[in-house]
Structure 1
Amino acid sequence: MGILSITDQHPLVQAIFNRNLEEVRALLSQKDNVNVLDQERRSPLHAAAYLGDIPVIELLIQSGANVNAKDSVWLTPLHRAVASRNERAVSLLVKHSADVNARDKHWQTPLHIAAANRANKCAETLIPLVKNVNLADRTGRTALHHAVLSGNLEMVVMLLNKRAHHSICDKKERHPIIYASFLGLLEIAKLLISRGADAMSKDKKGYTPLHAAASSGQIDVVKYLLKLGVEIDEPNAFGNTALHIACYMGQDAVANELVNYGSNVNQPNEKGFTPLHFAAVSTNGALCLELLVNNGADVNFQSKEGKSPLHMAAIHGRFTRSQILIQNGGEIDCADKYGNTPLHVAARYGHELLISTLMTNGADTARRGVHGMFPLHLAVLFGFSDCCRKLLSSGQLYSIVSSLSNEHVLSAGFDINTPDNLGRTCLHAAASGGNVECLNLLSSSGADLKRRDKFGRTPLHYAAANGSYQCIVSLVTAGASINEADYKGCTPLHYAAASDTYRSCLEYLLDNNADPSLRDKQGYSAVHYAAAYGNRQNLELLLEMSFNCLEDVESTVPVSPLHLAAFNGHCDALKTLAETLVNLDVCDHKGRTALYLATERGSTDCVSVLTSHGASPLIKDRRKKWTPLHAAAASGNIDCLHLLIDCSERPDITDVMDAHGQTPLMLAVMNGHVDCAHLLLEKGATVDAGDKKGRTTLHRASVTGCEDCVGALMEHDAFVLCRDFKGRTPIHFAAACGHATLVHVYLQAALSTDPLDAVVDYNGYTPMHWAAYNGHEDCLELLLEHNPFAYLEGNPFTPLHCAVINSQDGTADLLVEALGAKIVNSRDAKGRTPLHAAAFADNVNGLQLLLHHQAEVNATDLSGRTPLMMSAENGRTAAVEFLLFHMKADLTVMDINKNTALHLACSKGHEKCALLLLGETQDLGLINATNSMLQMPLHIAARNGLASVVQALLTRGATVLAVDEEGHTPALACAPNKDVADCLALILSTMKPFPPKDAILPFSFNLLKNCSIAAKTALPNGGSCPYTKDRHGSIAMDGCYSE
């Protein structure tokens, strides 16, 4: 909110600020708008309230001013009057019904403002009128919080006396006591604690009042809290005690008080840092460090990463503190978990004076740190030449040779050419760091220029990669090999070409006979690297200085520079290449052009460069046969798409098809890119073009549910009744996917297009079938309103069959309520009712619903089977149990092959279903009933090895001597095939004791009669085919939807 000039304000506001009552009265008498607003939506009453001008306020209110008008930040005149601490204005506004509970955009009421602005008299007026003195603003602060923050003891007393809660915390979970402690408001802190405030309360990060007071150096509050007996070493969420905080903030007086009260000087926090670590690293922690050391702090305590206080002092070069630590026993060569000593740290951060101190005190310059590096590695890597000089002067390897034995009797320091764990010497590090002074110091000290690291790289490789021109010059002058390749085949020229520094490095290498035709092991030259990293100047230089580089530009093995530049979005490099090449339509191994890659990556500038230089937007890739247009449409890159369309003169460019017959419009809609769809339609894309399966763009929009895409297509007269290769329309797809809004749009369009079209697919299914099957109640409701008799059209396997077979209780209920008994007992082509379908699906809820609406529990289909028989054959235990126990379904019904439900359950090995059926009957007629093959349930159960069922049948009196049409008893039915059964029959016929004569004769006769039959007759079908295979397209809707 800026400061506005009074001269730009309305005359009424100017008169108010001039405190000219007569002018105000005159302007109001001239019918000036008393509620006129300025740029910040402030009214004249806001101005008068701010000034506390009682006569003007009264005059404005009498003239109709809105006493609760809110400005742009929702401040009312009452807020303004309170902020100005004008109690008379506050009283007057309250008298005229000003809202004392009004909130501004920060959710602050006038009481919050009064507390924050020390407006005690105003608060006295407001408190009796407010609903709740503990109301919080957006930050969670109450008026008490604001009173404490303003340091107003009188206000705090007033609020506490009016039942303000000291225990309420703000959104940082801070109680008023924490703010009082932080600000050093001792009297307020005492008052709050005397009223019951918790001296150990914690905020969201675990800070207590003691932490708060310690952080800001409020020694009096600290002393008071300690006298109260608060826990002196209570950690916050990070494990820091008040002593940690005091040392970190450099509050030496507080630290002294805490130590004197017994705070643990060696208590580690969550990362293992003690207060001494904090004192060593903090800006103002010198006195704290001395205090801690003198009071027994462990100078060698290591954090979880192994850092000692001396490591921490080395980070910022705390020279004096380092000396104190060393003098008090600090370990010079203490290593952290990376192996770094304080000398490594000092070298890394360039603290020469501290390096001298450490080396004077015996620090090991040959100690290996992170990745096995010496301190010298780190000093030169980060370009600290003074540190490098210091380490070289005192730390290099030297030895004393005995004059008598000519042997080394004493050696110390380090070898300058010793590599780290990755084979890099200090010279590699210096070349990478780019400080030529460090590099020259090393070279003059005997560093090996040709030493390779584990990747085969010399110092020159590192200098080239980092664009260190002076280092390159120094190394080449000293004799470094300029065309030496690393283990990947890259020369320094490759790295220089990739570097984003000015071309001087590359130019120098080329002038000194670097070979630009050399390729790495993947076949890439310096030109490829320059293109891949987008270095136009390097690319131009290479093309200027070598004819061989032109061949590299045209080469597509392994990938052309043009592709690399396009893929990485380097339009400047791409422009250089485009101006050099004749053919921009070369393809990579996947058949993609540079234009395709640029489009796929969404690089509009690259697409613009390529199209302006004649690249074709119609080249297709090898796999999907996508053009750049397909890639742009699929990824929603509208700017790229626009450029591609505009660069071609072909009128049918927008209708180019991929391997599946998809156009760019189809891909744009399928991925929900509405703006791309609009552009393609405007540019003439065929709205009803179909792919190889006959599906149009509208079919795709129906699946995704993108209403904006559908709207765009409908505006261009998309045909809603177009059919795919299975006869399905966009209405089918929308209904199947549950897009009710689209279904409504399509139905309206279909009425005007062809009101007689029944919208049935080639399997006879309507959109109503699809909606019911997938449980989309809103779609189904629309379809029922549109044509309630649509279920009579198409496949007799009705929508209710679809709903119950897929356990969609909601759509099933909707259909039953809408259509009643007409659909409940409807039959499909096999004569099966919805109850059969529910039984097949083991859908107990569906069974309950249908039977509640008078479904016939014993209705038979064309094969003579009831729902109970259907569920028994398919092992639907829950359905069997419900139909048996709750609906008393008839067990004696037989199908056309004379199978009962018990026969069917046994025939498919559904033991539990068979036992449930047997549990409901003792009828010998049912137990010994034979089917058309003369088989009893005992025959079938025995053949399938259902031991518990066999036992149950036998205990209920099932006969064991009955024979089927093959002459086999139930015992013989156990045989794995007929030949085995015949053999078993022969054996049994000769066994003694024989049964009575009148029983054995027919029995033996039957056995012997059948044992020598040569032609084996096929068994009659004892049961129908599985439900899902009875007829094409009846129940197998899963297959349709899986597409």
Structure 2
Amino acid sequence: ETDSYINASKLVFALIRDTATYRNRKMYVVFLLMFTVSFADSDNVVENSTRIIDVNSQDPNGAVPLHLAANRCDTNKVQWLINNGAMVNIRNNARDLPLHVAVNKGCLDVVAILVEAEEFRGANKNVKDRNGNTPLHLAVYGKNPEMVKLLMAKKVDIETRNEIQDVPLITAVWLGFREVAGLLIKGGANINVKNKDNNTPLHLAVTKNDIEMVKLLLGKGADTEALNKNGDVPLITAAWNGFVEVASLLIDGGANKNVKDHDGNTPLHVAAHKNYAQLITMLIAKKVDLEVKNDIRDTPLITAVWRGFRKVTRLLIEGGANRNVGNKDNNTALHLAVSKNNIEMVRLLLEKKVDTEAVNKDQDVPLTMATFNGFVVIISLLMDGGANKNVQNRDGNTPLHLVVYNNDRELVKLFIGKKVDLELKNNIGDTPLVTAVWWGYKDVARLLLEGGANVNGGNRDNSTPLHLAIIKNNTELVNLLLEKNADVEAATGDGSVPLMTATSNGLQQLVSRLIERGANKNVQDRNGNTLLHLAIFNSDEEMVKLLLSQGVDKDRKSVNGDSPVLAAVWLGFRGITRLLIEGGANKDIENRDNNTPLHLAVVKKDVEMVRLLLDMKVDTEIPNKDREVPLTTAAWNGLEEIVSLLVEAGAKKHVTNKDGNTPLHLAALRCYPSLVKYLINVQFPLDIKNRDGFTAYKVAVNHCADVLPLFTVGVDN
């Protein structure tokens, strides 16, 4: 190597003497100069070289001789180059000044020379490299305490930030360089300075779990309550990472042990959330508040249970946490363990004697919640642990109601085996059996009946299970209930028995089954309506046929005095009317006003019904309580077609009402010219006088002059 240096020096001298060659091969000569500066031991070579070559010439990497001399920590060459015009602020291609190079190489003497030169020439001693690092940053990165001391002695700025917004102290702490950090703090660095994420040195030391650095910073008075951009203090950071010793140091150093993060979580919440048992133990020993709630109203215990961490849960309860506290929905730890179907957690909480009867905002106790979700093991645990097995929710439903709703046969068996009350009613008055029947759950209904449920227990309307099975047209359930001796005569609040319900719903098969089982086929409701009445109201001809075939009473009257045939006529059901009369119903039966079916058909102006009744040979001469026969009623209402039908059927023409008026009197009185003409044509008597002594003609004179010409000359007026 020595020979190479000598040869290089000779070559440089030769080139320098040959000016022409230098001009043509300048870059080559510059390279040789750089080589000389880098390796030649002779200052004379450098001095002679720079007489012709520019001392600030740059090589292909942008370096000037001063960069190279600084890189070799060559104090003499650096000083000579500066003395001979070398510029200290030229950057190489890496954007480094000679000062940056010297700091990175740890050349204390060179750095001192360069800083003095910069100060003398007005250059910036806090100049940044391409990453925004000042010489002090670089000294920190190099973990060079002496360099840091030197630069601080030269009064460099200790708070300048690099491109990632770190000051030298932040860098030192992040890298774990405690000696350097101590020097910076001693030199006046802001111990609570923040980086781009608002983390202080203490935050960073905590993040790195650097116990000694934390001790250093706490000893220097670092702020334990400074917030980073996430709203976390150093203690929260320690808690999230499970750093027990660091957390303990912070608390001992004055940190608020119950401080909250941006979600309202304390260190204890965080430890519970992360399942840090050792941290929990330490925090409890430090007497932290066990009952603080976070923003979603959870205590640390609630958090631990929700996350399923049994060891942490045990530690919290044994440490004094309120085991029955509720969250925002008033769910206790037991509610939450149940909702997660966490069997072992439920065991633990029951072992710790939690309240099994606490209600949440929906008024549900843990057993209700477990039942609704079908958690068999937990249901047994709760009942064995003393939970009220007949507890009712806000709808009045017991656990048994709920499993019935879910058609869960196994749970129904379980509850029956636990001797629950089978007859409790919910808010709508339903027992579990009523519920099972309404939803059509035959197997569940059978289990309840075999377990002792009252087969006749009614709901709030006094509808029994049999009523409901009929309403649902569930033959299988009807048969089951009859098999279990359901009362076929039980009446609802409106007086309806099951047979009435079946009839009203048109369920012929069930009607037959009930009559077969001995149900009273002539039963009447509170309005006196029979089964025939109900079938007629529904215009159910097939049901009428069935009832007639079963031999029901055809003429039994309702409270208002109507028999089935009267009801059918009034409603205009001709087919049913025919069925009833042909089935033996009294066709001339009278209602409480003594109106016969024919009267009603006339009043309803139902021509076809009148025709049907006349075909069935009804009596046309029966008067009602006003002594009106069907013909006088028809005449009074001007019903010419019906009058004609009645006359053709043999109705008496000389009939009179209570006022002595014949049909002709009434037609004249009401001024029905067409009807008057018809009655005269069919030879209704003209000479009959009413109670006032008037003939029909005289009535016409007084009330309807238009019909007078219809009367023949010579009529007695």
> Of the two structures, which has the highest relative contact order with CA contacts closer than 8 Å and spacing of 6 or more?
2
Q: Rg bigger for which structure?
A: 2
